[in-house]
Structure 1
Amino acid sequence: MSTTTHQSKLKYFQLVLILGFLTALGPFSIDMYLPGFSAIATDLNTTVAKVAMTLSSYFIGISAGQLLYGPLLDRYGRKKPLFIGLLVYILASLGCAFVTDIDTFIGLRFIQAVGSCAATVASVSMVRDLFPVRDIPKVFSLLMLVVGISPMLAPTVGGYVTDYYGWHTVFFILMCIGIAILLAAQFGLPDTYAPDRTISLKPKPIILNFLSVLKEPQFYTYAFTGAIAFSGLFTYVAASPILFMDLFKVDPKTYGWIFAFMSLSFILASQLNSVLLRWFTSEQIIYGALLTQTITVIAFLIAAENNLLGLYETIAMLFLFLACIGLSNPNTAGLTLAPFAKNAGSASALMGAIQLGLGALASFAVGIFLKDSMVPMVIIMAVSTIAAFVLLNVGKRKIKVRY
């Protein structure tokens, strides 16, 4: 009996590990090349702000891919779309390693994102397929831990790789990670879902399904509040190479360590959230986190406008700002999906697409406006935070609680 228990625990660990790697592919692909921004700009005869556009195109690719893979995974089963997506990712990563001009690089990053999206969406679907309902929150929290560790590990590793072997090597490593994940998924994951030929891939039924989700006041209030607040994180990610390496002149390795330290705020905030939920509702935590985020970002803007911030003060302000997002995000996600027993897949794909689409816009704005001062970054953060806070207060009035 103990051998069987041991085997089932081993199988559980193996499944969670492979699903964790699938989930982490996106964050790794976003964060690992960030320390190479200055070197990429020099090599491709362009500016760091233009290199930041490769981040925006990646976010747009993930956002579009969310909506693309949902119906495909239901129609053709989990493995075939996952396999094709990972293949696209591997080939695009290889292309990025040999790229010689910035416009091709921007295009390849978009294709790489669409490929990696298959891993993200498939891992969420497979958690639902593979585990009993009571285990799902625990599995998701384990996957979130992997996602939380990725931004700590990826830029630090990326900083050292860029320093010793050049930025091209980062994309060779991402290609090898893609191959390893493809093999692990192919041989380590069971076929969890029979293809359903009744699911239509015609645009009209898919769009009507998404529209029915979008009409729900609870969905649009919390999906957009969460996504607009969360775009502050994308603003920071896109701005951080310019902010720390160009404005504060830190080297790629130090930048990797700063980025890793910032990720701690997210992990600590999510742990604090679990504790706070014993005494407060999700609604109260979202309100408190957004209020704190608004006060923080206004103070940040005043200090930035008056040149009062050195490197350490900037890190402290960003740490607090990101911790507020880490507190509100799990709660806005939970409340966004709460009304949907039937359309949970569509609701979650739409929520992801809104979040990443707004994130792409924010990082795009950073690429245009951030040049020789941190003020444009803080303005973008302030506008998004205040807009989220206003939307929360207006939207809450239309929600009828039914659960």
Structure 2
Amino acid sequence: MTKEPVPQGTSGVATVVALGLMSSFGPLSIDLYLPALPQVARDLGVSPGGVALTLTSCTLGLGIGQLVVGPLSDRWGRRRPLVAGIVLFTVFSLVCAVAQTLPLLVAARFVQALGGSAGIVLARAVARDLRSGAELVRLFSLMLAVNGLAPVLAPVLGGQLLRVVSWRYSFVALAVLGALILLLVWRAVPESLPPAKRRVGGLADALHSYLFLIGDLRFVGQVLSGAFAFATLFAYISAAPFVLQNHYGFSAQLFSLVFGTNAVGLIIGTRCAAYVGLARGLLLLTVGAVAVWLSGLTGAGLLLLLPGFFLVGTAFGLCIPSISANAMQAHPHSAGAASALLGATQFVIGGGIGPLAGRGASDGPLFLGTVMTGLALMALAVGWASRGSHPLAEGR
């Protein structure tokens, strides 16, 4: 398939790096904060399930924000909503840093995530403006390779910060990162949607776009498969700090190194996505989830648990580039809305899993493995049912 015209002013590597960092607001918001979850629970006097609400509000904000920003960008262009969102993320990261109660932290995390959602949804929309078909899969893979550095480095940074300062400085670090990403975006990401290609209309037009997309069963199948795959990963993200630190006695620093190692698997997955294919990636995701479940059921513990976590991260990296490309390439004139539905469904479903997975986290991996296995099987079933509709399903 031939390349679509690239808007004048894009700068190759710098643009890819900027798009990858834009899409990293999700992992940055979550992963840098993960090693501190037990400390936050102690400091605020809440349970693991209570502190998991700060993750849930974050993921809900990331999801709901995309539903708003996506259609707005189809009408107004990509840059204005993008800049406004990153500014909002940066300001409310500082509000999170000074929050003294759980309700305030939960609310501030939600607004912070609303801002960060602009980067996530518009990274995909800009990519769709620039490329299509196999070229789009490759661009998504490059973006995810950059984005994949966030879950590697963020928990390590978060764990090291806890050696010398409290969990509040994790949010100061997020504010600094937000400001730096804003500077790079300002220089490297031009407007990719010219006025002639923008949609005209208000709320009714946005709703029409969503209804049209929901009526496309192939699109819905890819979106749901991606949502269940993300929920499998997010169950691990929500519960792993408590399983490894409270049940197995890991320090925050050791946990951050394990989590960063698993994120390397995600990067490997993104680089192999175009060759392995979606069906095999979903199968590997299920194998990893079953390994986590068996670690608790059989008493094998870390011998199965840590490889299971690594397989889940790697498989997620294999799945998401193909799912994103398959879902979006058929809707170039509604790329913002399609990207919004894709991302919002992932974060809303994933956000609902956080408290559920965290409830039994301190008791060990059995409950977590049960949740992850059920979600992975749903991702596999939906993905398998729709795989024949997409040329990117089987890899190359």
Does the TM-score normalized on the shorter chain lie above 0.5? Answer: yes
Deviation at 1:370, TM superposition (A): 3.0
Asked if residue 24 in structure 1 is aligned to residue 15 in structure 2, the reply is no
Question: Which of 292, 300, 304 in structure 2 is aligned with 1:308?
Answer: 300
Q: Secondary structure at the match of 1:52?
A: helix
Corresponding residue of 1:353: 344
Q: 1:325 to 1:80 in 2, by over 3 A?
A: closer
Corresponding residue of 1:289: 281
Question: Which of 317, 320, 338 in structure 2 is aligned with 1:329?
Answer: 320
Corresponding residue of 1:201: 202
Number of aligned residue pairs: give it. 383
Q: Secondary structure at the match of 1:307?
A: coil
Q: Identical aligned pairs, as a percentage?
A: 27
C-alpha distance in structure 1 between counterparts of 2:66 and 2:10, whole Å: 31
Equivalent pair of 2:86/2:178 in contact (CA under 8 Å): yes
Of residues 343-352 and 111-120 in structure 1, the stretch that sits farther from structure 2 once superposed is: 343-352
Deviation at 1:323, TM superposition (A): 2.5
Give the AA of the match of 1:150. Answer: A
C-alpha distance in structure 2 between counterparts of 1:165 and 1:70, whole Å: 37
Unmatched tracts of structure 1, length 5 or more: 1-7, 277-284
Deviations 1:302-344 (CA, angstroms, capped at 9, x unpaired): 44123221x3431012212333333233233333334334433
Q: 1:180 to 1:327 in 2, by over 3 A?
A: closer
Deviations 1:102-140 (CA, angstroms, capped at 9, x unpaired): 111111111100011112223333445567999655543
Give the AA of the match of 2:340. Answer: A
Q: Secondary structure at the match of 1:343?
A: helix
Give the AA of the match of 2:341. Answer: L
Corresponding residue of 2:242: 242
Taking the TM superposition and a 5 Å limit, the aligned residue runs for 1:57-72 are: 57-72=57-72
Equivalent pair of 2:294/2:304 in contact (CA under 8 Å): no
Corresponding residue of 2:181: 181
Corresponding residue of 1:279: none
Kindly name which structure, 1 or 2, has the bigger radius of gyration based on alpha carbons.
1
Of residues 336-345 and 352-361 in structure 1, the stretch that sits farther from structure 2 once superposed is: 336-345
Give the AA of the match of 2:296. Answer: A
Unmatched tracts of structure 2, length 5 or more: 1-7, 392-396
Asked if residue 267 in structure 1 is aligned to residue 271 in structure 2, the reply is no
Asked if residue 339 in structure 1 is aligned to residue 330 in structure 2, the reply is yes
Corresponding residue of 2:90: 90
Equivalent pair of 2:79/2:191 in contact (CA under 8 Å): yes
Question: Which of 358, 369, 383 in structure 2 is aligned with 1:378?
Answer: 369
Equivalent pair of 1:218/1:339 in contact (CA under 8 Å): no
Of residues 14-23 and 112-121 in structure 1, the stretch that sits farther from structure 2 once superposed is: 14-23
Give the AA of the match of 1:206. Answer: A
Equivalent pair of 1:53/1:367 in contact (CA under 8 Å): no
Deviation at 1:10, TM superposition (A): 10
Deviations 1:210-254 (CA, angstroms, capped at 9, x unpaired): 121112221122221232123111111111111111111111111
Taking the TM superposition and a 5 Å limit, the aligned residue runs for 1:243-258 are: 243-258=243-258
Of residues 335-344 and 315-324 in structure 1, the stretch that sits farther from structure 2 once superposed is: 335-344
User: Over aligned residues, Cα RMSD in angstroms?
Assistant: 2.8
TM-score between both structures, scaled by the size of structure 2? 0.87
